[in-house]
Structure 1
Amino acid sequence: MQHSSIHWFRKGLRLHDNPALLAAATGCHRLHPLFILHPSSSRAGANARRFLLEALQDLDSSLQKIGSRLFVARGCPEEVLPRLFRAWGTTRLTFEVDTEPLTRQSDATVAELAAQHGVEVIREVSHTLYDTERVLALNNGKAPLTYKHLQSLLASLGPPEKPAPALTQEHLQGCFTPCQASHDINYGIPTLEELGHDPTEVGPQLYPGGETAALARLDMFMERTAWVCSFRKPETEPTSLRPSTTVLSPYLTLGCLSVRTFWWRIEEVYQRQREHSQPPVSLHGQLLWREFFYTAGASIPNFDRMVGNPVCLQVDWDDNPQHLCAWREGRTGYPFIDAIMTQLRTEGWIHHLARHAVACFLTRGDLWISWEEGLKVFEELLLDADWSLNAGNWLWLSGSAFFHRYFHVYSPIAFGKKTDRDGAYIRKYLPILKDFPAEYIYEPWKAPQAVQERAGCLVGTHYPQPIVEHGVARERNLGRMKAARAWRGKKSPKGGQAPPTALLPPQLPSCPLGTKRKAPTRPLVARSPRKKPKAEQR
């Protein structure tokens, strides 16, 4: 039987290593490559949307070179696909497996609808190194909660599968894509304006979207053999004016780059050298971290929220919209934090240690605001906003899951100085502070009035005063976190019950405490223990 196939592109926006796309082309006389834009399903901001549109344009261009086209439809997949099944006489639907819970629910519905229309469904794993269901089956259906445990499970499976061959013109022999003159009107790729974004909102185009750019970037880094082999993620610099890592994560997020292709290209470099770094800090190690969070996100209920999440510490976070807004917009009064958030808003990418610093500042370090609020901001602003990784890292960095050394607090002053004592990073992203002497660049509020005047920036007028005093906030929050963890040890919260907040030293008048998130009625609690955990300035 010669099939009329739809290949439904979602994240795997590429021709290389796309087994579901190859399945669509096998025994096929008519192929419709399809992408469905569901605008209400994402918080993505202008930079991320531009990256997606560029990836779609690149994909369409690649398809045209082998005699096909990309069809872009808009709406809910459960409504769009049945309509296209009928219009196109579809007999086969193929797509890449997605591990996100909401997408899996949608996919189950789509599979039922396909069956009702007599459409065969083929799903292939290619967005992760391993089939997460197979990994979970090895662990009795539960996610491994440590990196080492995941490694032990993967060791029993052997290395990841080799990438599938890229789709070429030869695969499409005897197969055609019906394309009318009205294609660009009916199924063309929309503009940013059509998606409701002002093009003036986007920042510089540092990382063009698409498979072509992804493979070129991969080639560039794989040529740096010594760098690949010596790569250790913790030794890279968050304050580097040019990225000190690969910045391939946005391409992995949309599947412009296959993770299996990345893995085996690294392996080729390793094989040519006697020594190389090892997981978890190596490049292979970074891809295994990705696998760790994908496996967790696929199996832990309510992974992207606190309530109903069985691995998440239940914390009585503050509700302080003013502080949240100041953090998001880079107006905290801490130049290192504000520079990072400015880079994020304008460029759509920040170094992983920069993410650590601002996440810690928002949550357990200084502002005591829920990690869920930070997750939403990252989901909007990051080019590599990946549901599983975003949620997993916010759980980790807020001290809510996976990471238990909550007394390790990133200093918004000292941490940046480790790799950038002169403050070049701050001067780049906060030019209002560029003329401050190095001794005051991280703490401009300490500069004498005359120094501020010479710098052309008066703190409190041209740049904000700190919204909290770090030392006081850190000590207060250490006590709160210790109390939350003690409460969890005494009684595992059910139904999202938040633990009691320990009675702590009052906050400074300049830093009003936000209102509390509503929590179930609970007994009064004694003061937190006198002995406080030692805070480590990172």
Structure 2
Amino acid sequence: MASPASASSSSSSSLMWFRKGLRIHDNPALQHAAARACGPLYPVFVIDPRYMEPDRAAPSPGSSRAGVNRIRFLLESLADLDSGLRRLGSRLLVLKGEPGEVLIRCLEEWNVGRLCFEHDTEPYYQALDKRVKDFASAAGIETFSPVSHTLYDPADIIARNGGKPPLSYQSFLKLAGKPSWAASPLSTTLASVPPVGDVGRCEIFEVPTLIELGYNETEQDEGAPFRGGETAALTRMKEALSNKAWVADFEKPKGDPSAFYKPATTVLSPYLKFGCLSSRYFYQCIQDIYKDVKKHTSPPVSLLGQLLWRDFFYTAAFGTPNFDKMKGNRICKQIPWSDDEQLLAAWREARTGYPWIDAIMVQLHKWGWMHHLARHCVACFLTRGDLFVHWEKGRDVFERLLIDSDWAVNNGNWLWLSCSSFFYQYNRIYSPITFGKKYDPNGNYIRHFLPVLKDMPKEYIYEPWKAPLSIQTKAKCVIGRDYPNPVVSHDMASKECRRKLAEAYAVNQRLNGTVSDEDLKSLRRKLEEDQEKELRHTKQRR
């Protein structure tokens, strides 16, 4: 990945192309560009309209692919990167347009001899990078594209496994071992960066504001309480790691999904997603703490284990064609999910009538973030737990609204939580009533994110439809008027979901995973007929 694509040309100019990796510490591509530059260095970020252009038809503020919270976080990260570069004698050059076209135009205009950028495994960037690399190679431009967004190079892990990605966490750990770069300390500082040269005819912008991108001022009112950028990332990491006992004892399943004023995790995932924080530096800092304590938890539940989960999903995604789809995905169970747009909309818009589920979805809209167990609850509810809606539909909502939306991790988690891949115990369902109550019996989380229920007695806060009308009236929340009735009965819906998954699993096993469209249609018809028979029997028993 990091070897030159061709012999370096006689040009002395270098271009550092930022996409993720929005940081100065532990940035091998930037370090290489700065160290090897004999002339100007152009640090570039391209505003891609595919992700950044406002879409008024979208179901909530933002572009078609990104909610306004993530766009704001990215702009804050770019502004912080620009400040960091200015302290080193440079600045960030912001351009606008289709990234491949813009990059090629810059390479030509500035007579660039060396192009540096961080390797990316996402299909979109793989295709984009091939275009740019092919042009660079033909033009005699050296390219340097090191792997530094993850702890390991997914291609190396796959090669060690005979050309296939490991599909269990434990097999991944055995193959991965200790990262090769971990043998020596990382370079976390830069003394200086060569100045920017003449930009010629290329139109350069400052880091824009949301308003300058075309968003309304009102769309800035309910942002996440997390500020983007390397500075914020390093501060947050330092605060999280200052409590060595907490780091040593960290166990993922024991976090509280209802804690919101002080989340029960590091909330470093958005910074890792954008590369404001180096995952390698985070790994190194955790290992330094482990050396200082008598004992600590181990993967998969430890804090270090969470970073390794991230690499596990990156490797699985990189080695699996159509990883983000059910169809054509060899590791994904073929299941005849429902296409019920009304149920999907109720879930997406926090109108399911289950306060725990709806409060989580409101937090997603307002903050662009929620605790991982909260994500598990709403993903299970949408898919195999209650609504039986296709996991790809839920994935799309998360992909757009989460500030830490990460292609590999988001798709991997939806495959897992829908019991489509990796995890197959579909009988284990998160209750939309009792799970949240276990952590927050008073319903403080619900009261915060669903203020319409703030005066509901705690006996009914998770099941307000059970409250007598007099209590609903006193709480100023009449169910069916001020807050919706449940869209399904959890007991009946979860039973039906289990039955459908049992049938789908049996078909997948019988056909050895080669389930055709016709097989799925046939199974869907059978499930619908069985459901109608069950409804008739239920009515007759009554």
Q: TM-score w.r.t. structure 1 length? A: 0.90
Moved more, 287-296 or 156-165: 156-165
1:528 match: none
1:524 match: none
1:105 partner amino acid? A
The 3-state SS of whatever aligns with 1:402 is coil
Q: Distance in 2 between matches of 1:507 and 1:319?
A: 21
The 3-state SS of whatever aligns with 1:8 is strand
Shift of 1:412: 0.4
Q: Distance in 2 between matches of 1:163 and 1:106?
A: 32
Q: Distance in 2 between matches of 1:194 and 1:305?
A: 35
2:61 match: none
Which residue of the other structure, out of 11, 32, 36, is the alignment partner of 2:20? 11
Any idea what the Cα deviations from partners look like across 1:1-56, whole Å, max 9, x if unmatched? 67310011111000000001111112311100011121214711100000000000
Moved more, 197-206 or 393-402: 197-206
Following superposition of structure 1 onto structure 2, how do residues 98-497 of structure 1 map, counting pairs within 5 Å? 98-155=120-177, 160=182, 164-170=186-192, 172=193, 175-178=194-197, 186-202=204-220, 203-241=222-260, 242-491=262-511, 492-494=513-515
Structure 1 residues 39, 131: closer, same or farther in 2, change over 3 A? same
Q: Is the 8 A contact 1:39 1:75 kept in 2?
A: yes
Q: Distance in 2 between matches of 1:338 and 1:119?
A: 52
Q: Is the 8 A contact 2:351 2:358 kept in 1?
A: yes
Q: Distance in 1 between matches of 2:127 and 2:22?
A: 21
Q: Is the 8 A contact 1:427 1:433 kept in 2?
A: yes
The 3-state SS of whatever aligns with 2:197 is coil
Which residue of the other structure, out of 30, 35, 45, is the alignment partner of 2:45? 35
The 3-state SS of whatever aligns with 2:439 is coil
Q: TM-score w.r.t. structure 2 length? A: 0.90
2:104 match: 82
1:21 match: 30
Q: Which 5+ residue runs of structure 1 have no aligned equivalent? A: 510-538
Any idea what the Cα deviations from partners look like across 1:494-530, whole Å, max 9, x if unmatched? 5666531334344999xxxxxxxxxxxxxxxxxxxxx
1:218 partner amino acid? M
The 3-state SS of whatever aligns with 2:43 is strand
Any idea what the Cα deviations from partners look like across 1:116-149, whole Å, max 9, x if unmatched? 2221111111000011111111001111000000
Structure 1 residues 157, 350: closer, same or farther in 2, change over 3 A? closer
Structure 1 residues 507, 249: closer, same or farther in 2, change over 3 A? farther
1:504 match: 530
Q: Distance in 1 between matches of 2:201 and 2:444?
A: 52
Which residue of the other structure, out of 80, 96, 101, is the alignment partner of 1:58? 80
Shift of 1:98: 0.4
Q: Distance in 2 between matches of 1:229 and 1:504?
A: 51
Q: Is the 8 A contact 1:3 1:27 kept in 2?
A: no
Number of residue pairs aligned between Structure 1 and Structure 2: 505
Q: Is the 8 A contact 2:230 2:276 kept in 1?
A: yes
Q: Distance in 2 between matches of 1:163 and 1:50?
A: 33
The 3-state SS of whatever aligns with 1:504 is helix
Structure 1 residues 508, 367: closer, same or farther in 2, change over 3 A? farther
2:196 partner amino acid? T
Any idea what the Cα deviations from partners look like across 1:390-435, whole Å, max 9, x if unmatched? 0000000001000010110111001101111111110111011011
Q: Is the 8 A contact 1:22 1:167 kept in 2?
A: no
2:129 partner amino acid? D
The 3-state SS of whatever aligns with 1:7 is strand
The 3-state SS of whatever aligns with 1:421 is coil
Q: Is the 8 A contact 1:16 1:166 kept in 2?
A: yes
Shift of 1:196: 3.7
For the aligned residues, what is the CA RMSD?
2.0
Q: Distance in 1 between matches of 2:72 and 2:209?
A: 9
Q: Is the 8 A contact 1:457 1:463 kept in 2?
A: yes
Moved more, 379-388 or 497-506: 497-506
Q: Distance in 2 between matches of 1:369 and 1:221?
A: 37
Q: Distance in 2 between matches of 1:129 and 1:483?
A: 39
Q: Distance in 1 between matches of 2:386 and 2:440?
A: 22
Shift of 1:164: 3.6
Structure 1 residues 76, 493: closer, same or farther in 2, change over 3 A? same
Shift of 1:190: 1.9
Q: Distance in 1 between matches of 2:335 and 2:23?
A: 41
Q: Distance in 2 between matches of 1:330 and 1:361?
A: 12
1:20 partner amino acid? A
Tell me the percent identity.
49
